[in-house]
Amino acid sequence: MQQIVSETPLSSSPSPSSNTLLFPNDKPISSTTLPAKSYILKKCIALLNSCASSIPKLRQVHAFSIRRGVPLSSPDLGKHLIFALVSLSGPMHYARKVFDRIPQPNIFTWDTMIRGYAESEDPSPALHVYQQLRLSSVQPDTHTYPFLLKAFAKLTLLQEGEKLHCAALKDGFEGLMYVQNALVHFYGACGRAESALKVFDKIPQKDLVAWNSVINVHALNGMPNESLTLYRNMCLQNVKPDGFTLVSLLTACAELGALGLGMRAHVYMMKLGFVWNLHAANSLLVLYAKCGNIVDANKVFDGLEEKSVVSWTSLIVGLAVNGFGEKAIQLFREMEIRRLVPTEITFIGVLYACSHCGMVDEGFAYFDRMKKEYGIVPKIEHYGCMVDLMGRAGLVKKAYEYIREMPIKPNAVIWRTLLGACTITGNLTIGEVARDELRKRETKHCGDYVLLSNLYASERRWSDVHHVRRAMLKEGVKKVPGHSLVELANRTHEFVMGDKSHPQTKDIYAMLSEMTRLLRLEGYAPRTSNVLADIEEEEKEDALTYHSEKIAIAFALINTPRGTPIRIMKNLRVCGDCHIAIKLVSKIFERDIAVRDCSRFHHFRDGTCSCKDYW
């Protein structure tokens, strides 16, 4: 016990000044009589309940109780002291020492300890506390499982959580609302959206917390469509959304590129006053950046009364992926001037900006500064940015040597980045090395086969192309088809290459023909080298004409007023021919066209692109 109170030095005997501070109207009381001890105990408990904002005062009350002879083994004092510590997010090692002195803690005290660990930076001891609880004669109650599931969610302990789910079912607590909500959150944190939905569907009276949990689960697990469907169902059940709901909704909209729906959510946020919530405002900033509306992203950022590091980082990353690398670097410098400490994610945005703007020397300089000035240990994502930086600049050999000398083991993404660079530069030797490394890590990733096939095709090694394609068929690997999405009138329309399934197909193809005619008048010639197939030149030209992004743009041109910006989302990299064509379309039809491909945005205006033809 001396160890516990030593952090707040106090004399061994009562100090008049201390007594005056704690009990201004009290006279010293002998600690030898039971009524006196009972009185002191009640006073200490009352004071602990009043220590709502001060750990030092809590320590002072604790020390006073010791000097007045109140034993820490007293269940009443112990449980109130632990509860006060946990409520103040106090040090859990302190709470643990107090807990260990209590001979028979009740379930409230056990739950408080589990809750404290669950809400701390290191929730792992919660599992040990639960195991001790099971070994004791105390039975879990309605609060035990929600607190434990919160800890397991942070630790993503799927198996332990599933065991806990079984235990809750056995103890008859699975049907309780708090337990069900905690299970939904737990399965979502572990990436088990289907399991989370099964639990959610069994909840008879779904409250806002349950809806928020299941919507967020799908939004964060790459299922934005399902997230939006759940949101619509929630509204149909007359459950009003709150700030947490809108953050999940904005996350889903950002992933889908559903700018229209996101803007309506923005209006709703303004009506309810949620725009002043920093977390919600940051989500709104990310939405606009991911949807290519960098102007409104800047407006949200400028309108923030309080800008956190997350706010600065979100805009830096947003500017980088939208092709405004110089502005991203400028914003980072301003952030440093304001003495805000960048995070590892901030530097990913900075390195990404350097990579997509061809700033090789600057990228290496920022990488060194990240380590030396800010003490950030580079992660695999930072090394990936550096490999991408060199690969885009055509420094494939240097990138390969860099990978071999990396202090951490390169993953599949690193080698895939190198293979992609080899495909662009035509370096077959290093490309085959990268493919061999990928075979050791991910044998059935369709993108690896496609990149290698394209590399062989660019060298006109058609027999090797056919060999790669036969290998894909043999191993059951299917190529992900390219598609483009465009949002119009609250609906998202999807097109694939040569798509003729849309009700407006006739009008779309008429516009495509008109686009092709006007493009040729501007001097456009199909870049058939982008068609990596052994077919006739005329067939290559036809194939280029019906790429999904061109079909999506034609659809947007016939369905929107003149001058309306067009935003396209594509799941694959934009090819060189489409890039040239879209630049000219933006000039001919006087439209701003934003195309988000698998790695970045291209903003086309007046015949130019924000990437400056470097991507």
**Per-residue pLDDT tens for 554-565?**
999 999 999 999
Residue whose structure tokens are 């291209």 = 602
pLDDT of residue 14: 37
pLDDT of residue 419: 87
Which one-letter amino acid corresponds to residue 16? P
Residue 406 burial class via C-beta count within 10 angstroms: exposed 0-12, middle 13-18, buried 19 and up = middle
What are phi and psi for residue 63, nearest 5 degrees? -65, -40
pLDDT of residue 479: 73
| Tokens standing for residue 267 | 């209006």
Beta bridge partners of 188: none
Spatial separation of the C-alpha atoms in residues 472 and 367, rounded to whole Å: 38
State how far the alpha carbon of 521 is from the alpha carbons of 256, 543, 564, in Å.
35, 20, 23
Contact of 148 with 126, CB cutoff 8 Å: yes
Q: State the 10-residue block means of pLDDT for the chain, 615 residues long.
A: 35 35 37 52 69 70 73 68 82 88 88 92 91 88 91 92 91 87 91 91 90 89 86 89 86 83 86 79 90 90 89 93 90 94 94 90 95 93 94 92 93 89 86 85 73 74 77 75 83 87 94 92 73 48 79 95 90 86 94 88 90 77
Q: How do beta strands 483-488 and 491-496 pair?
A: antiparallel
Which one-letter amino acid corresponds to residue 202? K
DSSP 241: P
DSSP 528: G
Residue whose structure tokens are 């992933």 = 255
Spatial separation of the C-alpha atoms in residues 51 and 307, rounded to whole Å: 31
State how far the alpha carbon of 208 is from the alpha carbons of 125, 241, 597, in Å.
30, 7, 35
Spatial separation of the C-alpha atoms in residues 127 and 152, rounded to whole Å: 8
Strands of the sheet with 491-496, listed across from one edge:
491-496, 483-488, 566-570, 593-596, 601-605, 608-609
Contacts of 256 (CB under 8 A, 6+ apart): 224, 225, 228, 485, 492, 569
Mean pLDDT of the residues in the chain: 83
**Per-residue pLDDT tens for 300-325?**
999 888 889 999 999 999 999 888 88
Contact of 472 with 449, CB cutoff 8 Å: yes
**Per-residue pLDDT tens for 285-297?**
999 998 888 999 9
Spatial separation of the C-alpha atoms in residues 325 and 249, rounded to whole Å: 28
Nearest residue to 133 (alpha-carbon basis) of 117, 153, 156: 117
pLDDT of residue 103: 83
Spatial separation of the C-alpha atoms in residues 83 and 72, rounded to whole Å: 14
Three-state SS string over 129-144 comes to HHHHHHHCCCCCCCCH
Helix (H, G, I), strand (E, B) or coil at 596: strand
